[in-house]
Structure 1
Amino acid sequence: MENIKFNNLGLNNNIIKAIDDMGFEEPSKIQAEIIPVLLDGFDVIGQAQTGTGKTLAFGAPVLSNFAKGDNIFGLILTPTRELAIQVNDELSRIAKYSRVRLLPVYGGQPIDRQIKAIKKGVDIIVGTPGRVLDLLRRRILNISNISYLVLDEADEMLNMGFIDDIEEIIKNTNDQRHTLLFSATMPREIEKLAKHYMKPDYKHISIVKSTMTVSTISQYYYEIKHKDRFESLCRILDVDEPSSAIIFAKTKKGVDELVESMQARGYNVEGMHGDMNQNQRLNTLRKFKEGNLDFLVATDVAARGIDVENVSHVINYELPQDIESYVHRIGRTGRANKEGIAYTLVTAREYMTIKQIEKVTKSKIRRKDVPSIDDIFQAKYNNILTRVSSTLDSDEYKKFVPLAAELDEEYNLVDVAAALMNILYEKEISYDYSENSIDNSTSYVRLFLTVGRIDRLNPKILLEFLNKNAHIDKEHVGNIDILEKFTFIDAVDHAADSIIRNCQGNRLCGRKLKIEIAKSHK
């Protein structure tokens, strides 16, 4: 599957354009194998671990084949509310240039609103079995003419006791539908489901789990705010002073922007990505191998052919799209039985991905605090001291003794030494740090709000609403994630209490607001 691009898979142009906007250069293994099979009209069992890009694997072909009509086109079942929201949000991004009406349905939200949306017209439903069944029994939902039925994380749904609900839902569909079943494992119940409800010529595509060997690599993560991402990277580099590091960005544009920012601050760095011609990439790689570059910023695709033995650090400036890519990335260090260091920058929203990586790779990713200016000063001081000691062990400095003697006549030599050390320190600092530390230790509560993009909500409107009703300033709010029909916000403990107490039931963007503490994503 080497070098396959999304535009080689048969997807329509609107879907390819949306995927390009999402920043994915090429498909993961499961995407490359399943998308063409689904586009050819086969039913499919996709067996792969969490974190392999399954949502795009079924979402892209289903949306590519979407045809407008009077009936619901597709139904996607997920085991939890959180996964339903997550899948719906990703499908919204894939459908960016397609006129598709998506609706997530699940318990915990007023059913009246979901009924109203269904009656207005919906193309694809993403929901939990319990809520879908409730809507079917009320005769609100008609799935008798759907084209696609997707069971996402089927083994998890069976473990949660949804088998009877799933079978009842399937019996409300038609025999002509396409059935897609995604599961990490293949228990007997799933084989029975396939035998009873999938077409006889269905394809079973299993992505063999790669060997996750990370034993010689020490892995750490830094929890950051999105706005502090670049400064956090500079602080890490100023303290660690890697001899040779590969820094991974998610997109080609991200590589270019990061390289430009780093070069502006004096870092010896170049980038590599798929839009560069072969000569450019070979030239950059040669300079990196020969030690003429300290840092290489790359996308996953561009870094595939990199084989450099002495890379001391791999830094995930942004997380990759799947766990296998994470393992490939950090495998660029710790080669030839040498110790390697892997750092990953994550926001609070991305924290659960770190937990997933730990689970799949059976490794420990330890938390580190973003360095303070005091940490940077100590690291630079130690470095300068080492260099001074090394120079004193040689005779090369002696040609400067007469100059030092002249300075001794006018200044205190301790002051002279401190002044010279200050010159070196200022020269080596890359960023104009204004605060001693980036405070990411604040304890946040994640809140779920029942208003989203569809209501024309934006961060400015939301912050003004919180300030007016709960006297909450923007400093008390962390990440704001506005999805199609919902919003998640991170608020400091006391602010979260005030928001729930003072904003619950108020009208925001014309909608009566319901707020609750969000559960963690799976």
Structure 2
Amino acid sequence: MNFKELGISEELTKVLKKSGITVPTKIQKESIEFVRSGRDVIAEAQTGTGKTLAFLLPIFENIWPKTDNIQALILTPTRELAIQITEQATKLAEAKNINILSAYGGKDIDGQLRKLKGNIHLIIATPGRLLDHIRRKAVDLSKLKTLVLDEADQMLLMGFKNDVEAIIKETSKKSQILCFSATMDAQVKKLAYRYMKEPITITIKKSNEVTLDNIKQEVVETTDRNKKDALCKVLDEDNPFMAIIFCRTKRRADELEEALHKRGYNCEKLHGDLIQSKREKVMKSFRKAEIQYLIATDLAARGLDVTGVDRVYNYDIPENAEAYIHRIGRTGRAGAEGYTCLFIDPKNRRDFEEIEKEIKYKIPKRNIEI
């Protein structure tokens, strides 16, 4: 099956082809036709399976460029994800003459307000900033055709439930609602079923089945005192093109970035305490491969899909198996081979064994000499 058979126009398929996308992924095959026909959809699909295009493509087919009202709204939990979706949407917009506004905290609100006075068809926003615009009477969602809740599980986890419900109440009861998420817990389903009309439920293979097959995993046993030296030894041996190094906390990310800079590594940190302009600058540089190592916290890296990341290093052990899978899913994308290395010290032993048990795999040990 190709995009044309899914009802995607020639103009959009040409844009996809320029980006090297010619064959729809499973989530795209299963959801595009339902979204195009106006059905409400609950879709569970791991990051990296193409779910952004699964809702963007049919939304672009359904928008009428000559109508001067907001027809589609995509809500997303983080600024980074809003930026990423906007980048994909902007490429598609050229083929369809559709006007897009991205609205998130840290970005110039006056500039957003000026743009909202124009003819906007699609808004990509974080809940807090969008509510701000609604309260200022700058946004009218009464004629909205489609509302997307992207990474819905994370939005609720971050405490946006009330904001999301307040936004839904601003939309028409006829609006189509699409709920896309990596995991569908009871809280997400409860919210979805409260507002959706006979939704179609789509579930793509669980994350460990999607991401682990083509990712080589290894573990380095060390001590917390020797962990930096162990990491540097591995980085020197591997010398990856681009890699993400995960830390558990913002403080740990700060400390590691400072230590690696002193040792001459080309790295930058990414976490929630950085001002927005700095976060955008770091991500832009990383996407251009100007930065070799991105040192990130879990939340900052949520949903990030950067081409060229061939390695993921878990400097700190993740909280659980699900977080581990989310992290290592940044490599081994689109069928490419990936690699991940986890660093553990004796106090991590129990958590490590729990991760192995959950993913049903005994991670081979990597021996290094410091």
**Common fold, TM-score beyond 0.5?**
yes
Deviations 1:272-323 (A, max 9, x none): xxxxxxxxxxxxxxxxxxxxxxxxxxxxxxxxxxxxxxxxxxxxxxxxxxxx
Tell me, in whole angstroms, the C-alpha distance in 1 between the residues paired with 2:282 and 2:85.
23
Deviation at 1:216, TM superposition (A): 9.7
Q: 2:44 aligns with which of 34, 43, 47?
A: 47
- SS of the equivalent of 2:123 reads strand
Separation of aligned partners in 1, 2:160 and 2:284: 33
- The residue aligned with 1:130 is 128
Aligned to 1:112: 110
Tell me how far apart the structure 2 counterparts of residues 62 and 172 of structure 1 sit (CA, whole Å): 20
Q: Which residue number in structure 1 is paired with residue 176 of structure 2?
A: 178
What is the Cα deviation at residue 219 of structure 1? 7.4
Preserved contact between residue 445 and residue 491 of structure 1 (Cα < 8 Å): no
2:266 to 432, 442, 465: 442
After TM superposition, list the pairs within 5 Å mapping 1:84-95 onto structure 2: 84-95=82-93
| Structure 1 residue 490 displacement after superposition | 5.7
Q: Residues 107 and 276 of structure 2 are in contact (CA less than 8 Å); yes or no, is this contact kept in structure 1?
A: no
Where does residue 163 of structure 2 map in the other structure? 165
Cα shift at 1:70: 1.8
Deviation string for 1:462-489 (max 9, x for gaps)? xxxxxxxxxxxxxxx999669xxxx999
Alpha-carbon contact 2:71-2:122 (below 8 Å) kept:
yes
Q: CA deviation at 1:196?
A: 2.0
- Which residues of structure 1 form unaligned runs of 5+? 221-342, 356-439, 453-476, 493-518
Gaps of 5+ in 2: 220-237, 247-263, 293-298, 303-370
Instruction: Give the counterpart letter for 2:106 in structure 1.
Output: G
Q: Distance in 1 between matches of 2:120 and 2:70?
A: 6
Provide closer, same or farther for how the CA distance between residues 216 and 64 of structure 1 changes in structure 2, counting only shifts above 3 A: closer
CA RMSD, 1 decimal? 3.4
Greater relative contact order structure (CA < 8 Å, 6+ sep): 2
* Paired AA for residue 190 in structure 1: V
Query: In the alignment, residue 132 of structure 1 is paired with which amino acid?
Result: L
TM-score (norm 2): 0.61
* d(CA) in 2 for partners of 1:216, 1:162: 33
- Return the TM-score normalized by structure 1: 0.44
Q: Name whichever of 183-192 and 129-138 sits farther off.
A: 183-192
- Match status 1:100 vs 2:98: yes
Q: Secondary structure at the match of 2:148?
A: strand
Runs of 4+ in structure 1 deviating by more than 3 angstroms, as ranges, are 211-220, 343-347, 443-450, 477-482, 487-492
Amino acid in structure 2 at the alignment position of 1:81: R
The structure with the larger Rg is 1
Give 3-state SS (helix, strand or coil) of 1:95's partner.
Answer: helix
Partner of 2:202: 205
Could you tell me how far 1:218 is from its partner in structure 2? Answer: 6.2
Equivalent pairs counted in the alignment come to 254
Paired amino acid for 2:190:
K
Q: Percent identity?
A: 38
Residues 126 and 172 (structure 1 numbering): CA distance in 2 closer, same or farther, change over 3 Å? Answer: same
Q: How far off is 1:521 after superposition?
A: 3.8
Per-residue deviation at 1:49?
1.2
Counterpart residue number, 1:189: 187
In structure 2, C-alpha distance between the alignment counterparts of 1:107 and 1:479, rounded to whole Å: 16
CA distance 1:163–1:443, shift in 2 (3 Å)? closer
- Aligned equivalent of 2:137: 139
Q: 2:42 aligned with 1:73, yes or no?
A: no
